[in-house]
Structure 1
Amino acid sequence: MASTEPAAEPGAGGSEAPDRPSDEAILQQQNQIRAEQAKVSEYVGQEENLDALKAEYENGNQNFVQKISKLGERYRTFRRTRGDGNCFFRGFIYAYLEGLLQSQDLVEANRFMSVVQSWKGKLVEGGFQELVFEDAMELLLEQVKEVTRASTDQFSQEKLLVNMRDDTVSNMIVMFLRLVTSCEVQRREDFFFPFILGMYDEPPATVELFCQRHVEPMGEESDHLHIVAVTEALQIPVRVVYLDSSGLPSGGGDGSGGGGGLEASCHGFVPDSCPPGTVPRVHLLYRPGHYDILYAKST
């Protein structure tokens, strides 16, 4: 039996283009895809040879291939972090804790714990409820205590990896770092507001609103501003290697890395409190939208 429902009116030419999805719908779809991809990866992966990274681009972007080849002159391996929007904070703190574990630098560990503890009062003063962050802060301090007790209780790198793969431990520490970053940005509003103005066509009206939207929520991606704020807040120097497609392939563009090759740009985030010549304690690799951990060769 033929339908008695009225037919939809066709558009010009007998068809009508579907409405364009809203920006919010597109963002939601991207977040869903990213969340699905994240489920199959650990928060922090195993250390891998840079050849594994280069292999991802061998049939694609040759600029990336050549830049990764050049990276091999200064870096020996890398470690993946989950692409869930928290990769910068997770990679940053894992690499720092791992460095403390390997160096057993008790002076640095004590300095860091003092700085973290000093943020309790600053956060409360900044309007953050102690109930929200105190357990997360203690979890971070406990990780530092454990890695610096390695010589007496056999704390291993594997145990640090297990801890930072744990949903509760890993995410609470990331949350705490986000709150510290937010508080630092708001405490230095005059310094950071120009950054915010340059980041968006329609920037949030206030620094506080920016932090509520783009710093504090879990899963919000990090950029230059976040790195400046957290490195200053915790006084930890960081170097970020930026891997992008800029430049023209050299050596005939065959991706072999011959003829010198292209070199990824680097940026050092050194807190004002650090003396001249300070070397980075954390090395991160940035690919568009994502951060992984880099391991420098011994000098």
Structure 2
Amino acid sequence: MDPPTTTPPPSPPTHDDPTTPSSMVTTSLTPSEQDDLTIKQTQEIELEITTTTPLITPHPLPLGPTLLPLYTSDPIYTSKVHTICKTFTKIRRTRPDGNCFYRAVLFRLFEVGCEGEEFHKKLEDKWKSWKGVLVEAGYTQFTVEDFYDHFGESLSTLTTSTPPLDLPSLYFTSPATCDYLTVFLRILTAAELTRNSSFYSNFLTTAPTMEEFTKLEVEPMGKEADHLQISALAAVLGVGIKIIYMDRGEDSEELVEHLFPEGEGEYPIVLLYRPGHYDLIY
């Protein structure tokens, strides 16, 4: 398999972005000029996101006061925020760049790893098994060795004496450091989908083959995660992920909750999904 890249060329804005550059294109321009304008506008939006939003907020924020101002004119979303606040009190925002799901999962893995020796040991044991997972999926050692080793080295620095609030400065301030770890989670997700493609292929909707899906929708940075990627990552990590969906799917205050994997168990990673974006909630 071709090695994934850590810094791909600019991609079109995801659903995280409230502005769609193509809607601003002037129809009097030639197709070439329209393309150039779209690229320029996309780059401007991406630059604004990068310069104004941290990879992840250094401290958990109060959930209600953080989200309610965003929906002052929307009674449905306002009601749903109040419903969420009955169970959760804090939110840790992530940069809306298409990598928010993987980054949020990564942060919470490390955070829980600092909070308890048992979970940290479980995570280290899992990491040792992942080399076999990658080989089984067809990755060469040369392709993934640096990402695998860097993840393991990062795990080894985590102890219960590491204050969780130090994590943002250690791993989530520099894009170069954070992206290396994020790429590894993407590779791991792709490997799980590939080695168990006979099962996961039943749920493919955006690509004809699993190989094409992983190359287009999983490995590249900036690609959002959906149910298939979430299911695969939860399975290969061996860690439960709970997603609280806050969207306009139902015009009521009721919230949809999905568990990965389904069933009874602990779900130490809880994410809030709003259209096109994931944040950590506590």
- Return the TM-score normalized by structure 1: 0.76
Shift of 1:31: 4.9
Q: 2:212 is matched with which residue?
A: 209
Larger Rg: 1
2:112 touches 2:119 (CA, 8 Å); kept in 1? no
Matches of 2:38 and 2:196 in 1, distance apart? 30
After superposition, the Cα gap between the structure-2 partners of 1:19 and 1:189, relative to the gap in structure 1 and judged at 3 Å, is: farther
Of 195, 201, 207, which residue of structure 2 is paired with 1:193? 201
Q: Percent identity?
A: 29
> How many correspondences in the alignment?
251
Q: 2:166 is matched with which residue?
A: 159
2:137 touches 2:192 (CA, 8 Å); kept in 1? no
Q: 2:143 is matched with which residue?
A: 132
Deviations along 1:11-45, whole A, 9 cap, x unmatched?
xxxxxx648979x9598578532453233211111
Q: 1:270 is matched with which residue?
A: 261
Q: 2:113 is matched with which residue?
A: 100
SS in 1 for 2:219: coil
Of 27, 39, 61, which residue of structure 1 is paired with 2:74? 61
2:234 touches 2:240 (CA, 8 Å); kept in 1? yes
Matches of 1:62 and 1:28 in 2, distance apart? 36
Matches of 2:40 and 2:277 in 1, distance apart? 18
SS in 1 for 2:270: strand
Q: Does 1:39 align with 2:39?
A: no
Q: Does 1:171 align with 2:158?
A: no
Shift of 1:120: 1.1
Of 169, 182, 189, which residue of structure 2 is paired with 1:181? 189
Task: Tell me the amino acid that sits aligned with residue 158 of structure 1.
Answer: L
Deviations along 1:147-205, whole A, 9 cap, x unmatched?
2251xxxx2223211122222221111000000101111111121112213xx3xxx23
After superposition, the Cα gap between the structure-2 partners of 1:29 and 1:186, relative to the gap in structure 1 and judged at 3 Å, is: farther
Q: Does 1:231 align with 2:244?
A: no
Q: Does 1:287 align with 2:274?
A: yes
2:114 touches 2:120 (CA, 8 Å); kept in 1? no
1:34 touches 1:83 (CA, 8 Å); kept in 2? no
Matches of 1:194 and 1:180 in 2, distance apart? 20
Matches of 1:192 and 1:164 in 2, distance apart? 31
Give the stretch that moved more between structures: 177-186 or 122-131: 122-131
2:112 touches 2:120 (CA, 8 Å); kept in 1? no
SS in 1 for 2:264: coil
Task: Tell me the amino acid that sits aligned with residue 174 of structure 2.
Answer: D
Q: Where does the alignment leave 5 or more consecutive residues of structure 1 unmatched?
A: 1-16, 250-261
Task: Tell me the amino acid that sits aligned with residue 100 of structure 1.
Answer: G
Shift of 1:144: 2.6
Matches of 1:229 and 1:27 in 2, distance apart? 34
Shift of 1:118: 1.3
Task: Tell me the amino acid that sits aligned with residue 65 of structure 1.
Answer: T
Matches of 2:163 and 2:233 in 1, distance apart? 27
Matches of 1:47 and 1:30 in 2, distance apart? 32
Q: 2:66 is matched with which residue?
A: 52
- Return the TM-score normalized by structure 2: 0.81
After superposition, the Cα gap between the structure-2 partners of 1:35 and 1:216, relative to the gap in structure 1 and judged at 3 Å, is: farther
Q: 1:256 is matched with which residue?
A: none
Matches of 2:149 and 2:112 in 1, distance apart? 20
Matches of 2:56 and 2:39 in 1, distance apart? 25
Q: Give the RMSD, CA atoms, in angstroms.
A: 2.5
